[in-house]
Structure 1
Amino acid sequence: MSSKKSDSEKITIVIVGGGIGGLALLNALSTSIDPEKHTVVLVDARPSHMHLISALRLVVSDADDLLNKAVHPYGNHTFRNKFAGNGSFVHGSVTSVKFGDDGKGGELILDNGEIVAYDVLVLATGSSWPRPLGFPTESRSAIEEHIMARRAEFSAAKDILLVGGGSLGLELAGELKDIFPSKPVSIIHRERLLLNDTYPDKYRIAVQKAVEDRGVTVLLGDAITASNSSDVSTSQVPEGGFVTEQGKKLNPDLVVPTWGNRPNTSYLPSDLLSSTGHVKILPTFQLPAYPNVFAFGDIIDWKEQKGAAKAAFFHTPKVAKNVMVYLDLSERASTCDLMASRRSAKYTGCMEMIMITNGKSRGLGYFNILWGIIVGSWLITLLKAKTLMIGRIPSQTGFTPK
């Protein structure tokens, strides 16, 4: 008689979010779990993985065939190593979570009415982004329609205003100037300098000079008035244009919200969230009240700038280890805090770093090591700008485009 457990008897690990962080965790766990005891379910709001690092170039033009290279479907190929044949993908958005008592399993409620049971839950739902990166969720064809619509908008526009001078606005400006070098592009940013004060003034000033050298107009210390904010989010330009808070008149024919990301956590009860909507966690990435629930990536309440590199390279190894520690302790019917504290990996943060591309062959980076190092276009082009790390995607998704 076979001693192999049925799927219903196995411990189910559910990962919500198939972005860079979620896939990194899935792949990390796939070499550690016991396929006789554990199974995994990946839940994502979209049917395809969106490689957000390349998304701004993707929505501006058809350069480099990014639609084929950067949008990978989920499927059997997603589950490799010990998860091969031992994992499943569910397409749906989580609307609420039912938490179990005393660290026991719970359930996810999806927007399509489906219920997904879990024993261990990992939340990696990332960020919600404004319109350029607000990709639809229902189908691959809807994603493609969104991309084509954004390309058509940018192509038809005669004067483009980007509202927000963080990395999103800066990188979009660079992509636009690559494809439409003579088209007027402006960035309006509420702060005294571009980006935010996580980064030193010398870097923020250098970034401004770099985009201005490409013909981008930068308006600092100013913003679109509150009465016009709804027009900004929908790209509609009021008749007669905008008057900024500082009284400057702007009359673009396309306005694009680029004010950055928000944590995608609306499915969680407010008592688990900070005032900014981020998930409160312990240094082990566990939720304080639910030791079988983990969260990492952009959604966590941790004093650091959010980014794909942090989720993939700094959060993921510790989350993967701590999930395995939790599974081991659960199997022994012991959730002893002392044992967990000795074996679990604690997160204490990591250095701040940022690489801002300025089109395909320019960019500036900052690494908060030593005295704070600014790196120039040669290195940023090599590391990111030229290819936008497209070559890494098949190793993350298990899918190779034809």
Structure 2
Amino acid sequence: MKSTIVIIGGGVGGLGILNSLSTTINPKKHAVILIDTRPAYVHLISSLRLVVSNTDNLITRSVHPFGDHTFLKRLKGVGTFIQASVSEIKFSDDGRGGMVILDGGKTVAYDVLVLATGSTLPHPIAFPTKSTEVIEEYVKARQEEFASATDILLVGGGPVGIELAGELRDVFPSKSITILHRSSLLLNPVYPDRFRVAIQQQLEDRHITVLTGDSITLSATSMDQVPKDGFVTDKGRTLKPDLVIPTWGMRPNTAYLPSDLLSPTGHVKILPTFQLVAHPDVFAIGDIIDWDERKNASKIVHAHAPKTAQNVLLYLHLMASRESAKYKGSTEMIMISDGKLCTSGMGYLDILWGIIINGWISSFSSRDLAVSRLPRFTGYTPV
């Protein structure tokens, strides 16, 4: 009888571990099921460029439908994709298998479960889940929204706000663009002040206004329609944009899990093997794990996924080695794009004294945003 590996989440974490398993797993002995709320993989690295304009036909090149092609190498033709939302997990008492409960009541049994459900995403990259056609409609609506605005306020100066500002400036050189950030410096304090100051200078060099140490209170109403008199910030500034975009608010997608498995922030508590403490047959990777690091695609694909895959195989007794792969964290790094047309942008690598990667290097990745490498990752070749 086949054992079943169920992967919940088809983002970089889910596909990363799926691809890692595809080189080793025996499809005659093991079935693999991928579950995701969306019908397609949406390349989040290029998503901010995508919602600003359809340059380079990104809508086709960045949205890859799931299907038989998703299951590569040894899993080719034998994997199963299910588009559904997960409402609950029924864990077994002895740590040997369980049941995934889908919205609507259908169930999927598992012997090994991998949780890779990622984070909720802020507008404008909170892509819908119904179909690829609905995703395309959403993208076109966002493009029209930006095109019709003359004064754009981005609330939040993290990577999303910074990169969105750069993409907007590429396409709309004369629009007023403002970033409003609560802290005194952009980004997160995990990065050195000199890097955060340099990022702000690059934005200002492109005539993007940066207001730090200040904030406004946003409600669902004010996001849909800017108040007639504009916004008054905590410092008393009056801002009158015709479009306001909150770029913060990413939270782990873990509402389907019981609270005793979660940290106070909603992240999944794990062992260094990526296994849940009380459930050795359940693994978690990516944005949802309770690990003191800044999550990014590179860490998830190159560190989380292969180590988790190794431990899944070990759990299934498919490896000669009895040594678990333990995660000890990854080097902190970040690459900030400043749009495709600009030769700036900047990166930071936390090695030695802390290396700042200047624009002429980071601009190489900004031009393509890894879109050309996607078919090797998703198994899908755009027509």
Give the TM bin, normalised by the shorter chain.
over 0.9
Question: What corresponds to 2:162 in structure 1?
Answer: 170
* In 2: Cα distance, 1:260 partner to 1:328 partner: 40
> 2:312 is aligned with what amino acid?
V
* In 2: Cα distance, 1:253 partner to 1:188 partner: 15
Correspondent of 1:92 among 84, 94, 102: 84
Correspondent of 1:365 among 313, 328, 347: 347
* In 2: Cα distance, 1:247 partner to 1:180 partner: 28
Question: What corresponds to 2:376 in structure 1?
Answer: 395
* In 2: Cα distance, 1:156 partner to 1:397 partner: 34
Question: What corresponds to 2:34 in structure 1?
Answer: 42
Q: Is 2:327 aligned against 1:347?
A: yes
Correspondent of 2:94 among 102, 116, 122: 102
Question: What corresponds to 2:60 in structure 1?
Answer: 68
> 1:343 is aligned with what amino acid?
E
> 2:299 is aligned with what amino acid?
K
Question: What corresponds to 1:6 in structure 2?
Answer: none
Question: What corresponds to 2:279 in structure 1?
Answer: 290
Q: Is 2:109 aligned against 1:117?
A: yes
Q: Is 2:232 aligned against 1:230?
A: no
* In 2: Cα distance, 1:112 partner to 1:49 partner: 23
SS at match of 1:127: coil
Correspondent of 1:140 among 127, 132, 148: 132
Shift of 1:95: 1.2
- Equivalent residues of 1:75, 1:89 under 8 A apart: yes
Alignment of 1:258-277 (within 5 A): 258-277=247-266
* In 1: Cα distance, 2:16 partner to 2:316 partner: 19
Question: What corresponds to 2:292 in structure 1?
Answer: 303
* In 2: Cα distance, 1:247 partner to 1:278 partner: 36
Question: What corresponds to 1:249 in structure 2?
Answer: 238
> 2:43 is aligned with what amino acid?
H
* In 1: Cα distance, 2:375 partner to 2:106 partner: 29
Alignment of 1:299-338 (within 5 A): 299-328=288-317
Shift of 1:324: 0.4
- Equivalent residues of 1:194, 1:204 under 8 A apart: yes
> 2:358 is aligned with what amino acid?
G
SS at match of 1:196: coil
Q: Is 2:174 aligned against 1:182?
A: yes
**Cα deviations across residues 129-164 of structure 1 (Å, max 9, x unaligned)?**
111110001111111111011001100001000000
> 2:367 is aligned with what amino acid?
K
* In 1: Cα distance, 2:225 partner to 2:289 partner: 33
Question: What corresponds to 1:334 in structure 2?
Answer: none
Unaligned runs of 5+ residues in structure 1 are: 1-8, 332-338
> 1:272 is aligned with what amino acid?
L
Correspondent of 2:363 among 381, 386, 394: 381
> 1:18 is aligned with what amino acid?
G
Shift of 1:260: 4.8
- Equivalent residues of 1:168, 1:260 under 8 A apart: no
TM-score by length of 2: 0.97
Correspondent of 2:73 among 57, 76, 81: 81
SS at match of 1:132: coil
TM-score by length of 1: 0.92
- Equivalent residues of 1:280, 1:300 under 8 A apart: yes
Unaligned runs of 5+ residues in structure 2 are: none
* In 1: Cα distance, 2:86 partner to 2:209 partner: 41
Shift of 1:376: 1.1
> 2:94 is aligned with what amino acid?
D
* In 1: Cα distance, 2:244 partner to 2:104 partner: 34
State the superposition RMSD in angstroms.
Answer: 1.4
Bigger shift: residues 345-354 or 97-106:
97-106
Percent identity of paired positions between Structure 1 and Structure 2:
59
- Equivalent residues of 1:166, 1:260 under 8 A apart: no
Alignment of 1:199-214 (within 5 A): 199-214=191-206
* In 2: Cα distance, 1:249 partner to 1:96 partner: 45
